[in-house]
Amino acid sequence: MQLQTYISDLLYRYDCVIVPEFGAFITQRVSAEVNTNNNTFFAPKKALLFNEQIKNNDGLLARYVADVEQIPFEVATKKINQQVQRFKSTLIEGETLYFEGIGALVFNELSKINFTPNYSVNYLTDAFGLTQFNSSNINRDVVSTTENAITENPVLPLAKQTKGYRTYLKYAAVGLIALTISGLAFSKFQFNQVEKHNILAQQEAQTEIESKIQEATFVISNPLPTVKVTLEKEVIGTYHIIAGAFRIEKNCDTKIKQLKTKGFEARKVGENKYGLHQVAYQSYTNRVEALKALRTIKRTQNSAAWLLVKALD
């Protein structure tokens, strides 16, 4: 089993991928950078770290392996544990453990794991296709400007300017008064014409409406009885006994068909926080009945079954 490949796949989608009883690979977003010394532009990326203190099994890696290899969750967990034992043996023997596309791990003098990330792979999907590049220096030439001489127009004496300006104002005032009077007269005439037209149109519309109402008025002597239809809404409980979770929705549908052939009212109950499609053996409205059914299923069907409390839309 190429566990490194599965870890690499998950790092594109998640910020933390835990390898049970070994450690966690953690990503952190880094913004785009510019090195001003050599004019190099670096695309945004995910910085990759390793923390050997985080090793509790959150089920993410095991569920992904189970979906890809089409094996039960328990079998996937066992295979991961076997692979982890080989990882530890390699490190204890003083050798370097290489994870393709991720980085290298080795024990230091304090028996702690040192991690050197692989910078050739960018796990930030938003930066897909972007690479670093160098830009040449930009030389800016200084452009000299020459001020053009400004030719001044001759200025008339103040007395002549004032005389011409007053004459212009006199004729402008007379023209403005004439335009205002004619405009008011035309506006009043136009308003009267519009008002007459609106009154005539309103009278014609009212006459036509009354005529249509008289033609359409009739009485039903023998009306049909009223039929009332009551639709019963299916009630789905909030207590669901989970049979499994699947990355591929097609596998989810196959599991539901298998459970229904066994007499269960199986259904999908949404996705979990890891994006996996969850399938329930059955749903209950009563918690006591759900717990009773869970004990029976764990004893006869699936010891890994568990109870989910969730209200479905």
Q: Quick check: is 145 in a domain?
A: no
Q: Are strands 133-134 and 40-42 parallel, antiparallel or unpaired?
A: antiparallel
Q: Quick check: is 207 in a domain?
A: no
Owning domain of residue 287: 239-309
pLDDT at 296 over 60: yes
CATH code, domain with 293: 3.30.70
Residue bearing the bigger pLDDT, 193 or 292? 292
Query: At 140, phi and psi to the nearest 5?
Result: -105, 115
Q: Quick check: is 110 in a domain?
A: yes
Interval 194-216 mean pLDDT? 62
Q: Quick check: is 127 in a domain?
A: yes
To the nearest whole number, what is the mean pLDDT of the chain?
78
Residues 6+ apart with CB under 8 A from 287: 239
Q: Quick check: is 96 in a domain?
A: yes
The runs of H, that is alpha helices, within the chain are 3-11, 60-69, 73-92, 158-216, 249-261, 287-300
Q: Quick check: is 148 in a domain?
A: no
3-state secondary structure of 145: coil
Interval 166-178 mean pLDDT? 57
Cα four-point dihedral sign 108, 110, 111, 114: negative
Question: What is the helix, strand, coil percentage profile of the chain, to 5?
Answer: 40, 20, 40
Are 272 and 91 in contact by the 8 Å Cβ rule? The answer is no
Question: DSSP label at 153?
Answer: P
The torsion angle over the Cα atoms of residues 246, 250, 254 and 256, rounded to 10 degrees, is 60
Q: What is the pLDDT of residue 74?
A: 93
Query: Each residue of 216-260: pLDDT tens digit?
Result: 444 555 555 665 655 556 678 899 999 998 988 889 999 999 999
Task: Point out the domain boundary residue: 87, 111, 134.
Answer: 134
Lowest mean pLDDT among 177-181, 196-200, 269-273, 294-298: 177-181
pLDDT at 136 over 50: yes
Q: What is the pLDDT of residue 167?
A: 58
Task: Point out the domain boundary residue: 83, 114, 134.
Answer: 134
To the nearest whole percent, how much of the chain has pLDDT over 90? 31
- Amino acid (one-letter) located at 253: D
Q: What is the pTM of this model?
A: 0.41
Are 115 and 49 in contact by the 8 Å Cβ rule? The answer is yes
User: In total, how many domains does the chain have?
Assistant: 2
Q: Quick check: is 253 in a domain?
A: yes
Question: DSSP label at 111?
Answer: S
Q: What is the pLDDT of residue 108?
A: 86
Lowest mean pLDDT among 141-150, 159-168, 294-303: 159-168
Q: How confident is the model at residue 67 (pLDDT cuts 50, 70, 90)?
A: very high
Query: Each residue of 176-190: pLDDT tens digit?
Result: 555 555 555 555 555
Q: What is the pLDDT of residue 211?
A: 62
Task: Point out the domain boundary residue: 108, 134, 160.
Answer: 134
Q: How confident is the model at residue 51 (pLDDT cuts 50, 70, 90)?
A: very high
Q: Quick check: is 154 in a domain?
A: no
pLDDT at 212 over 60: no
Q: What is the pLDDT of residue 263?
A: 92
Q: What is the pLDDT of residue 218?
A: 47
Q: What is the pLDDT of residue 273?
A: 84
